[in-house]
Structure 1
Amino acid sequence: MALDDPGHARCPGPAARDIILADGWHVPDALVAESYAFLGDEDIGYDRYVSPAFFEREMTHLWPRTWQWVCREENLLEAGDWLTYDVGRHSVLIVRGDDMAIRAFPNACLHRGTQLKRSNESGAATELRCPFHGWSWTLEGGLKNVPCRWDFPHVTDEAYALPRVKVETWGGFVFVNMDPAAAPLADQLGPLAEHFRGRWDLANRRVSLHLQKELPTNWKAAQEAFLEAYHVYETHAQGLATAGDANANYDIFSDHVTRFVHTIGTPSPHYTQAQTQQEILDKMRVDGVLVPEGRTARSVAAEKLRAQIGAETGVDLADYSDSEMLDSIEYHLFPNMCLFPGVSLPMIYRFRPIGMDPGRTLFDLMFLKLVPEGTPMDYPPDPIPVAAEQSYADAPGMNPGLGAVYDQDTDNLAMQYRGFQASAKRGQTLGNYQEARIRRFHQTIDDYLGRP
């Protein structure tokens, strides 16, 4: 490939899109859509991850101005249900009002600033009451009671209603934006909303498991570990016999939405050892099943999953393609959300700073299972904390094999963060194609930081 044509080189052989089309299934148009552009090849400076000054700019210009998902609608089923969402120094209180509308407010009393509700907690209430002096507001944010009101003639109901934080919902998720002048959520979702319309609609799913783990790194580095399949070669070397990596497809649909698709049930281009389809299926841990002549391990594994997951969920999966059943299909919604519309890998990720330390990140790992049409909402399970030294596999309800993969994903992060600080070379060098999503991510960050 000529040096004057950067970004156009691809791994030899079939790409993920070719493999998906060769399966012979009718697939959603979105799954095989392609959108890539060369975005440059400059290093990404390490100060963006470790500098308190850069972190402060994010806290001022990025987090208060972008839509972030805070919870599922199921978390706020009844009037009075509330929860708090914290990102860095910011804290937002989200509540279901008596009129059943969802509202959000800065989580601070207008008297002397005390948080109305503790960070990272949830509950039910009939009013929003400050635990310090007892000032209270209605669930809709109207001033309700000021003890010794005679001493506050300068306080009016109109001026001391709780300030509003913008709220919108999509796909069963509740989003907030702290910027009063924020554009609608639809502008940030862009093509994502259209791609997830129909059978990928996440409103038709329910939370089956939610884990939370602190990661010893910057929030950007934490999610970047999941934005490319390039790391599979070394970090998940045990999967090379059954997982496409270098031939994954990468798409940049907008400044806020990117995606990769890498296939499962096909060997990596790096894996050169000859295998039969039966050997591939056995390595996928699909036990006791034979690959009939003329079939592939990929199609047999998908067929078994259709029957198994269909029976478990009560959902008819007959029309779901092999790719939707097996593959790692991951969208990123800026700034910190990853969404998987697939069936056997139905994850949602979120990465957000903990307090004002650039090197601390809270990782939310959620699984959204399919449910039969018309299934009523119920409260989701509470998040399960996973200690820094604990394996994801130890969490109740977590698949042990998948837990071990997540251990591999995040065990690199502490060493990487230390390397950011020790390196004589002051930036990371990205691949033009396989790591383009990371570059787009940083370009969008710079766009926010450059706004007045």
Structure 2
Amino acid sequence: MNVETGPLRPGEARHPAESTQDIIARDRNTAPGWARDVSYTYLGSEDVSKERYTRAEFADGEFARLWPRTWQMACREDHIPEVGDYYVYDLGSYSFIVVRSAEDEIKAHYNACLHRGTKLKPSATEGFAMNLRCPFHGWTWNLDGTLADIPEKWDFAHTRTRRMCLPQARVARLGGFVWVNMDPAAPSLEDYLGPEALAHLTAWKLEDRYIYLHVQKSYPANWKLTMEAFMEAYHVGDTHPQVAPANGDVNSQYDVYGEHVDRFISTLGVVSPKLRERYSEADIIANFTLGDSSALGGARPELKEGERARQVMADMFREMFESASDTDLSHVSDTELLDTYSYTFFPNLFLFPGISLPMIYRFRPDARDHRRTIYEVMFMRPKPRSGDFETAEVQVLQDHQSFAEAQGMDPGFGRILDQDTDNLHAQQEGLEASAKAGLTLADYQEIRVRHFEQTVDRYMAMPPFSAKLEDLQP
């Protein structure tokens, strides 16, 4: 139902242009079921309080209530392929050594010695170790967390009756990702995600891809503000005007799946409904092929009479990706080749499962400053048949650097990421200066923001997390 049909109940209004599903339905290669799904839920129209972004006390509450109870993507299995490989996942003051302790076993140990608390491995590192040894006094644990040695054990006879295994977070593996959760009483990852989202994630076969580019940058804005900059396409016309001639922005589709997952679908190869008086089908082709942001590497297809630019683009993308990956994509739908599918997995993960630009976004709060966020972008591609690939190491950019400066980054896409994040400092400062107590959200186009913040509220209503040491030891 669109905005021109008369009085509507809250949440029913849609842009009067054709829907995302109408666009996808005309494609030659049919979309899979997970792409044809529609799952919007009206969640209210109340303002969202600004204090969640501006108060340090709110951030402290998140570290006490939200982060210990949620499933988070710590790394990819490819980061730790061999027994002894480890990857340190840091989340504010929390730190975990994610280690392959056996061929088909992964553990996530709290990164602290049980002697005097020294970190066993430095933050933000990865590597290989035969055991986990404290650099201060040499207390040592096996990879599975069992105690291996206490130097001068004669002076620690009082520890003989204690369980001295390293405390562990729970670990789950899904889609090639390693997920961790600090709460022994939390639901399983499968129950946490819910059946619909789980079916989508399984269908993408992300375990068959690897990270070939990984870029990180810190921003002067609250982690939730930074995430929410990517949750809607409503901003495209003003923030990314260069892509509007080939992007279905205001008629994008928004879906909600349970408490912890939502998404939008934004179509490409079509003109923004706001600009259809100005741009033609031929202009769509030109938008894709001109400049250093060209998606087709300089190719410029001829648009024959009666042809849709979207179909021409899909055919060219299919040919280009088949040549680049030596993979048959004849069975892949046009929408998977062209469109932006953006899923949020609460609390801090975005997955983009498309063929043309499969990506991962991860956001982590800075425990020292609730106004700063660590933002990571990871790009994926199919694993080669030979099995010979290397997972990229992270490139850390400074505040003044553009994403376009990252080695291996497409300059045009790097500038799009800059545009997405350039507003963040102004938004953080504006909220703190504002006389208005909250944010006013669109019922449909900003449903992901509302869904996300309502889930934050549910966790913030819980008591502070606590667990006995013995409950965290194997």
Match of 1:260 among 260, 264, 267: 264
Q: Secondary structure at the match of 1:310?
A: helix
1:202/1:239 CA distance change after superposition, 3 Å: same
Output the CA distance in 1 between the equivalents of 2:434 and 2:56.
18
Pick one of 207, 213, 217 that aligns with 1:209. Answer: 213
Is 278-287 or 128-137 further displaced after alignment?
A: 278-287
Percent sequence identity over aligned pairs: 44
The match for 1:298 is 310
Q: Given the alignment of the two structures, is residue 124 of structure 1 paired with residue 128 of structure 2, yes or no?
A: yes
1:445 aligns with 2:456: yes
1:196 and 2:208 aligned: no
Structure 2 CA distance for partners of 1:428 and 1:81, relative to 1, 3 Å: same
State the distance in 2 between where 1:197 and 1:282 align: 36
Measured in 2, the distance between the counterparts of 1:246 and 1:202 equals: 29
Partner of 2:165: 161
- TM-score where L is the length of structure 2: 0.92
Q: 2: distance between equivalents of 1:90 and 1:356?
A: 12
Gaps of 5+ in 1: none
After superposition, the C-alpha distances for 1:173-201 in whole angstroms (9 at most, x for unaligned) are 00000111121110122222201333x11
Cα separation, 1, equivalents of 2:395 and 2:11: 41
Please report how far the alpha carbon of residue 380 of structure 1 lies from its aligned counterpart in structure 2 after TM superposition: 0.6
**Matching residue within 319, 323, 326 for 2:335:** 323
Contact 1:74/1:378 (<8 A) preserved: no
- Which residue of 2 is the match for residue 309 of structure 1? 321
Q: Residues 12-27 of structure 1: matches in 2 within 5 Å?
A: 12-27=16-31
8 A Cα contact 1:83 1:121, kept in partner: yes
SS in 2 for 1:131: coil
Which position in structure 2 is the counterpart of 1:110? Answer: 114
Counterpart in 2 of 1:340? 352
Question: Out of 346, 367, 375, which is 1:355 matched to?
Answer: 367
1:33 matched to 2:37? The reply is yes
Distance in structure 1 (CA, Å) of the matches to 2:88 and 2:447: 34
1:412 equivalent to 2:416? Answer no
Q: CA deviation at 1:291?
A: 1.3
Residue type of the alignment partner of 1:319 = H
CA distance in 2, matches of 1:154, 1:422: 56
Is the 2:82–2:103 contact (alpha carbons within 8 Å) kept by the matching residues of 1? no
**1:336: Cα distance to partner?**
0.8
Question: After superposition, what is the alpha-carbon deviation per residue over 1:11-53, rounded to whole angstroms, capped at 9, x for unaligned?
Answer: 0110111101112331111101111111111111111012111
How many Å separate the matches in 2 of 1:407 and 1:269? 25
Tell me the distance in 2 between the aligned counterparts of 1:270 and 1:376: 46
Tell me which residue corresponds to 2:301: 289
Q: Which residue of 2 aligns with 1:55?
A: 59
Secondary structure at the residue paired with 1:160? Answer: coil
Q: Which amino acid aligns with 2:10?
A: P
Unaligned runs of 5+ in 2: 290-295, 464-474
- The verdict on how the C-alpha distance between 1:176 and 1:377 changes in structure 2, with shifts beyond 3 A counting, is farther
Partner of 2:247, secondary structure, is coil
What's the offset of the Cα at 1:271? 0.7
Aligned-partner residue type, residue 341 of structure 1:
P
8 Å contact from structure 1 (residues 209, 383) kept in 2? yes
In 2, distance between residues paired with 1:235 and 1:441?
22
CA distance in 1, matches of 2:428, 2:388: 41
Q: SS at 2:355's partner residue?
A: coil
Note the C-alpha offset of 1:450: 1.6
Note the C-alpha offset of 1:132. Answer: 1.0
Deviation at 1:316, TM superposition (A): 1.1
- Aligned pairs for 1:223-302 (under 5 A) are 223-285=227-289, 286=296, 287-302=299-314
SS at match of 1:117: coil
Equivalent residue of 1:154, what SS? helix
Say if 1:207 and 1:368, in contact at 8 Å, map to a contact too: yes
Q: Is the 8 A contact 1:77 1:379 kept in 2?
A: no
Residue in 2 that maps onto 1:435: 446
Query: Partner amino acid for 2:426?
Result: M
8 Å CA contact retained: 2:30, 2:334:
no
